Structure 1
């Protein structure tokens, strides 16, 4: 998933915002499933590259339609930071998709949902925000949930289970940097550089991994690209319609849809420790979001 800052001109229609957020989680879960299918057959870097080509074309299209065109949209005095954000998100998506092929959707998403807790933990050193003892307790509880899923002391521990945690950490840093650059840049500018920087870095890596695709898989690739754009659009509209604190808890529906896809389409099994750990992480994450809303 991609975080998008609250846009100017925001209304506060929570009901529509919630529906848009749930719609976005459905699209992102389907996107994850298609990514797992394609990356299980073709090189992950190539799949990511084609996906970002479409993403870049989308942000350029939006910039051309915006007042002032591409020049106004791309203008920023934080260019290095904007490029780093875009590269970091592209790398995070690559790590996440690779994790799907190794661990499956269920276990990957069960660990990944700890990213709001990582955002809360890192908001102090990165953004200078205050993190109270209640949120620190929630962060610690959430990390206990991650440990239950990973089972680091068990004889069956799979080191690859660390992959989705790395993805969550990268996404948390990306989210914090998005909040940081939003202090001086518009959402349109950040969105533009997310697509452009990601397309450049994925192309520089993915071209070396190019391989022919079957006709049917090109259809899946096209659906993946469309879903990527649709998911971003739903998320943008969601944050236009309602405050982030009101709709963010519903982002956890992503885990539910991913679990359903994992079981019904890919034949995955929900292990007891994964279910227990996921519930703990969900509870800790929802408490953290509630505390942020209460403080706000």
Structure 2
């Protein structure tokens, strides 16, 4: 229950951070957003932990996870710069728990029965409903986000593996740190505008960096406390938050195909959780 509580709070915080960066991206660009996320996030984590607990144990896995997560961040920021609504991007990300179910088979040695495989297939049918040619998500940005979602599912699994060896502060700190060199590498491709950002933008950036640091600290701790099957359904909460925030700030309203497809994906994920609980109860008996 502690793990579920932490992950729910983390997703609420990260949704607010995503809304903040989507709002400031036109004024700072993708590369500077990543640099600001990394520098502010590292500073906040250093203050929270008093500079302790940052030495990694599993350096290779931690580095691979951090680098791949930076690529996911860049894909999301690129999609938002190209006017993809917040809720639409979260709708694509709803496929993450389904992908985690499949990846847990080779990476964690979990067994997935025919019922969970069938519901997972129905969930991916929901993804196809969202991405159909007549829907609002029929665009190249959605395919990029879908690829990033596959990578994000892998990083979620790796977070669970890293929680066995490394502290939550270590995992979160090096994720923030990786965003700085990645942002510097992207500067020639995505240079920031020549005009200095306003005071409101600077405040939004401070919130964005701090919120990311706190949220990923909560995520790392949550994955150490609870199994993936218990936490996966809460991957859907940003979609609900995103509908409300997107409407309030940008007057964004998801298409009916997006809502229908996301509903299929969410129902499939919730059913998978139910089957996982049944399986674990049988094992205990």
- TM-score, with normalisation over the residues of structure 2? 0.83
Partner of 1:91: 71
**Structure-to-structure mapping, 1:285-296, within 5 angstroms:** 285-296=269-280
Contact kept, 8 Å, 1:74 with 1:192, in 2: the verdict is: no
1:175 counterpart = 2:156:
yes
Contact kept, 8 Å, 1:39 with 1:101, in 2: the verdict is: yes
1:46 counterpart = 2:32:
yes
CA distance in 2, matches of 1:144, 1:186: 37
CA distance in 2, matches of 1:57, 1:122: 33
Partner of 2:265: 281
**Which of 100, 104, 113 matches 2:80?**
100
CA distance in 2, matches of 1:273, 1:262: 17
Q: CA deviation at 1:96?
A: 1.5
1:117 counterpart = 2:95:
no
1:145 counterpart = 2:139:
no
CA distance in 1, matches of 2:274, 2:94: 16
CA distance in 2, matches of 1:164, 1:155: 14
CA distance in 2, matches of 1:161, 1:89: 18
Which moves more between the two structures, 224-233 or 82-91?
224-233
Contact kept, 8 Å, 2:38 with 2:178, in 1: the verdict is: no
CA distance in 1, matches of 2:149, 2:71: 12
* Structure 1 SS opposite 2:28: coil
Partner of 1:9: none
Which moves more between the two structures, 126-135 or 136-145?
126-135
Aligned residues, how many?
276
1:194 counterpart = 2:175:
yes
CA distance in 2, matches of 1:137, 1:194: 35
Gaps in structure 1 of 5+ consecutive residues: 1-11
Distance verdict in 2 for CA 1:126–1:44, change over 3 Å: same
Gaps in structure 2 of 5+ consecutive residues: 281-285
Partner of 2:43: 57
CA distance in 1, matches of 2:211, 2:110: 34
Distance verdict in 2 for CA 1:25–1:154, change over 3 Å: closer
Distance verdict in 2 for CA 1:56–1:205, change over 3 Å: farther
**Which of 202, 209, 213 matches 2:191?**
209
1:26 counterpart = 2:7:
no
Distance verdict in 2 for CA 1:140–1:27, change over 3 Å: same
1:134 counterpart = 2:120:
no
Which moves more between the two structures, 54-63 or 119-128?
54-63
- TM-score, with normalisation over the residues of structure 1? 0.81
Q: CA deviation at 1:139?
A: 1.5
Q: CA deviation at 1:286?
A: 1.2
Contact kept, 8 Å, 2:126 with 2:260, in 1: the verdict is: yes
Distance verdict in 2 for CA 1:112–1:62, change over 3 Å: same
Distance verdict in 2 for CA 1:37–1:159, change over 3 Å: same
CA distance in 2, matches of 1:181, 1:21: 17
Distance verdict in 2 for CA 1:30–1:163, change over 3 Å: same
* Structure 2 SS opposite 1:268: coil
